[in-house]
Structure 1
Amino acid sequence: MHTKNIITAGLAVNEAQKALVMIHGRGGSAEDILSLAPHLAVQDFALLAPQASGNSWYPNSFLAAPERNEPWLTGALNVLKSVTEDLQQQGITAEQTYFLGFSQGACLMLEFITRNATRYGGAAAFTGGLIGDRIYPENYKGDFNGTPIFIGSSNPDMHVPVERVYATANILQDKHAKVILKVYDNMGHTINQDELGQVNKHIFGTVE
Structure 2
Amino acid sequence: MPPNPHLAQEPMLQGAPPEAANLTVYAVHGRGQSPAFMAELADRIGLPDIAYLLPAAHDSSWYPAGFMEPLDQNQPNLDHALEAVGHHLERLAGQGAPKESVVLLGFSQGACLLSEFLLRNQHQYAAVVLHTGGYLGPVEHGWPENGGLDGVPVLMASSAKDTWVPLPRIEATATALAKAGAAVELHTYDDAEHHINDDSVARIRKLLTSLMTKES
For 1:106 and 1:68, the matched residues in 2 are separated by 19
Equivalent in 31, 38, 43 of residue 33 of structure 1: 38
For 1:203 and 1:92, the matched residues in 2 are separated by 16
Task: Give the partner amino acid of 1:93.
Answer: P
Question: Which residue in the other structure is 1:90 paired with?
Answer: 95
Task: Give the partner amino acid of 2:87.
Answer: S
Instruction: Find out whether 1:99 has 2:104 as its counterpart.
Output: yes
For 1:64 and 1:141, the matched residues in 2 are separated by 27
Q: Is the 8 A contact 1:110 1:129 kept in 2?
A: yes
Instruction: Find out whether 1:45 has 2:47 as its counterpart.
Output: no
For 2:198 and 2:142, the matched residues in 1 are separated by 33
For 2:173 and 2:78, the matched residues in 1 are separated by 18
Instruction: Find out whether 1:168 has 2:173 as its counterpart.
Output: yes
State the Cα distance separating 1:63 from its structure 2 match: 0.3
Task: Calculate the TM-score normalised by the size of structure 1.
Answer: 0.93
Residues matched between the structures, number: 207
Q: Is the 8 A contact 1:116 1:142 kept in 2?
A: no
Task: Give the partner amino acid of 1:143.
Answer: G
For 1:205 and 1:105, the matched residues in 2 are separated by 24
Task: Calculate the TM-score normalised by the size of structure 2.
Answer: 0.89
C-alpha distance 187-178 of structure 1, shift in aligned 2 (>3 A): same
Q: Which shows bigger deviation, 79-88 or 140-149?
A: 140-149
Q: Is the 8 A contact 1:150 1:203 kept in 2?
A: no
Q: Is the 8 A contact 1:143 1:176 kept in 2?
A: yes
Cα RMSD (Å): 1.9
Question: Which residue in the other structure is 1:152 paired with?
Answer: 157
Structure 2 residue runs of 5 or longer lacking an equivalent are none
Percent identical among aligned pairs is: 34
For 1:45 and 1:127, the matched residues in 2 are separated by 23
Residues 111-143 of structure 1, C-alpha deviations (whole Å, 9 max, x = no match): 112211121111111111111112343578761
Q: Which shows bigger deviation, 34-43 or 92-101?
A: 34-43
State the Cα distance separating 1:186 from its structure 2 match: 2.7
Question: Which residue in the other structure is 1:2 paired with?
Answer: 6
The DSSP-based 3-state class of the residue aligned with 1:190 is coil
Structure 1 residue runs of 5 or longer lacking an equivalent are none
For 2:80 and 2:165, the matched residues in 1 are separated by 22
Q: Is the 8 A contact 2:144 2:180 kept in 1?
A: no
Q: Which shows bigger deviation, 28-37 or 141-150?
A: 141-150
For 1:15 and 1:96, the matched residues in 2 are separated by 13
Question: Which residue in the other structure is 1:190 paired with?
Answer: 195
